[in-house]
Structure 1
Amino acid sequence: MSPVSDAVPPLSAWRRFLEGDLWYSFRHSPVAQVAALLVFVCTFCALFAPWVAPHNPFDLSTIELADAQLPPAWLPDGRATFLLGTDDQGRDILSALMYGARISLLVGLAAVALSLLFGVALGLLSGFAGGHVDAFIMRVCDVMLSFPAILIALLIDGVGHALFPQAHDTLAFTVLILAIALTGWVKYARTVRGSTLVERHKDYVQAARVIGVAPLRIMWRHVLPNVTGPVLVLATIDVAAAVIIEATLSFLGVGVPPTSPSLGTLIRIGNDNLFSGMWWITVFPGAVLMIIALSVNLLGDWLRDALNPRLQ
């Protein structure tokens, strides 16, 4: 029999994942499984809100002011058609939560992706180039870290609304994403810089330099894959922070447009009517925001432990 016929076929990527340490760690972590289930449910309801939600809070033709401020269905004045009650405009709270989670997750993921791209690029450049480039980028990071993230986001978002007071909702979302991203890229840059300073002195980088590989190709093909582990963990945890910042800005009135039922917008509306006894407008959006942030943070903690070789 020929050696070729005796060779074992290579495993597929999916099979390698199922037999790897990451999946083994996930199967033996009940906390990670519950967190992943909560993230899946929230993401599913957010993505498929037009088909899952019982009402469309954007459709003004279906909203009746006579249905405003209705309590949840299990309370005396509640209705079965509005399971979690309605807000001051007659919008169904359950449907608004699904559409609001959609907005919050979209803004959070887009902001993290933008800050990740910007921070990783600057961190690679700073750690690999060194010298004056490294000193300049790190001083910019120090200046950014001296200001609270919420304050910078408020400043950028306020300037954007002042320059474009009649801007379309899409531009308002863009300004909000930029405001969150510009406050979050620093942690990625400093993390990647620290890992790059270690990797650039290793033998494989020195060998690539000796054979004449371009510095940009070394950073992209050799250094970057070896510094993505801590960045992925940081990005997972940062999604929850971005969602909370978006809700905070919307609560302060400088986030998403008031016509969009964001979680922060619903909490602000409920806060205005909290002392009138309409607790459900604030409690349910706050609970959903807490569940999203907590489940994402728990997944990030599990991923950090699973990717740490010292804990294997």
Structure 2
Amino acid sequence: MSAVSPPTGGSVSRFFAGDVWHSFRTSPVAIVAALIALVCVFCALFANWVAPHNPFDLATLELSDARLPPAWEPDGKAKYLLGTDDQGRDILSALMFGTRISLAVGLASVLLSVVIGVALGLLSGFVGGRVDAFIMRICDVMLSFPAILIALLIDGAGRAMFPNAHDTLAFAVLIVAIALSFWVQYARTVRGLTLVERNKEYVQAARVIGVHPWRIMLRHVLPNVMGPVMVLATIQVALAIITEATLSFLGVGVPPTSPSLGTLIRVGNDFLFSGEWWITIFPGAMLVLIALSVNLLGDWLRDALNPRLRSTS
């Protein structure tokens, strides 16, 4: 008798045959948002090759080309499609390099906040008792302050402690500041889901057969609470990028030698009322475009992973 051959389709084929992919294919908003996000990420990752100029190479800057309008304006030049800033840097190229920094800070801060929030929320919901009460009181205190204020306090304290820090350390302080202002949402979400999961039959059965509680948390409970965390993380990537832009606009974000979208907006804001609108409008539009596309993807993912919403659509 010949052995039964395993199914040829793998996880990739199951994904394309599943409900999530079907929901994506039938949602024009999700497709457009994904295309916009992919274009932004592609231009950010490959800015060294895609950008027409290197706006941070001082040897290529020409002060005579400073504050040129976009190419379609009467005084514009074809080689500067979106114009130049006060130092003669190409706005289009600066957007690509600035988007790379904003995306890197946003993704890193969200990843760190997910790790902190999920770990504390899982521990709080599964252990309960005084541990649960202590962690939730910390969450209550954190929620009483605006996220941007917490990020400002942490970033300011970090810069005061390391006044001559290298750019890498400055980036790390910024990422930690944003992450510590976002972890509470993950902790509270995971705690509520863990309180439901720990009373289910599979957890009780694992306890009966002597499985260690840490193994139950990590191998059984954690995978079942990650769905809402993925949705929340997708939406908070946009919020983290906006928070980073806000901090950079206030002058406490990324170092001036590595300007992000927020820094570009702050620089352009000085020339907004003198007629050079393109210096701040285009970075602002890019920030809105990234945040909007990520938020729309987060809304779609929330609906796609919710069977109740799928059944009513």
In structure 1, C-alpha distance between the alignment counterparts of 2:71 and 2:295, rounded to whole Å = 32
Deviation at 1:166, TM superposition (A): 1.6
Alpha-carbon distance in 1 for matches of 2:214, 2:229: 20
Q: CA deviation at 1:21?
A: 0.4
Match of 1:36 in 2: 34
Q: Confirm or deny that 1:58 pairs with 2:51.
A: no
Correspondence 1:4 to 2:13: no
- Decide whether the 8 Å contact of 1:54 with 1:95 is kept in 2: yes
CA distance in 2, matches of 1:121, 1:214: 17
Distance 1:229 1:108 in 2: 20
TM-aligned CA deviation for residue 261 of structure 1: 2.6
User: CA–CA distance in 1 between the matches of 2:8 and 2:69?
Assistant: 59
C-alpha distance in 1, partners of 2:42/2:276? 28
The Cα offsets for residues 104-151 of structure 1, whole Å up to 9 and x where unpaired, read as: 000000000000000000000000000000000000000000001111
Q: Equivalents in 1 of 2:58, 2:8: separation in Å?
A: 57
Are 2:197 and 1:227 aligned? no
Query: Percentage identity across aligned positions?
Result: 77
* Count of matched residue pairs: 310
Residue of structure 1 equivalent to 2:25:
27
Query: For residues 51-85 of structure 1, what are the alpha-carbon distances to aligned partners after superposition, in whole Å with 9 as ceiling and x for unaligned?
Result: 00011122111112221111111111111111101
Q: Give the match's secondary structure for 1:55.
A: coil
Alpha-carbon offset, residue 10 of structure 1: 4.9
CA displacement at 1:9 relative to structure 2:
2.1
Q: Which residue pairs with 2:99 in the alignment?
A: 101
Of 54, 65, 72, which residue of structure 2 is paired with 1:74?
Answer: 72
What residue ranges of structure 2 are gaps of 5+ in the alignment? none
Which aligned runs of 4 or more in structure 1 are off by greater than 3 angstroms? 2-5
Is contact 1:233-1:303 (8 Å) kept? Answer: yes
Deviation per residue, 1:192-243 (Å, 9 max, x gap): 0000000000000001111111111100000000000000000000000000
Give the TM-score taking structure 1 as reference length: 0.98
Name stretches of at least 5 consecutive residues in structure 1 with no aligned partner: none
Q: For residue 278 of structure 1, what is the aligned residue in structure 2?
A: 276
Q: Deviations over 1:77-101 (max 9, x none)?
A: 1111111011111111000000000
Q: Shift of the alpha carbon at 1:266?
A: 0.7
Stretch deviating more after TM superposition (255-264 or 148-157)? 255-264
* In 1: Cα distance, 2:123 partner to 2:6 partner: 42
Aligned partners of 2:9 and 2:173: how far apart in 1?
A: 45
* 1:172 CA displacement: 0.9
**Whole-Å Cα distance in 2 between the matches of residues 281 and 274 of structure 1?**
8
**Structure 1 Cα separation of the partners of residues 145 and 230 of structure 2:** 25
- Of stretches 150-159 and 293-302 in structure 1, the one that deviates more from structure 2 is 150-159
Contact 1:97 1:261 in 2 (8 A): no
Provide TM-score, normalisation by structure 2.
0.97
Tell me which residue corresponds to 1:188.
186
Instruction: Give the SS at the match of 1:121.
Output: helix
2: distance between equivalents of 1:182 and 1:27?
36
The CA deviation string for residues 227-269 of structure 1, in whole angstroms up to 9 with x for no partner, is 0000000000000000000000000000011222310001001
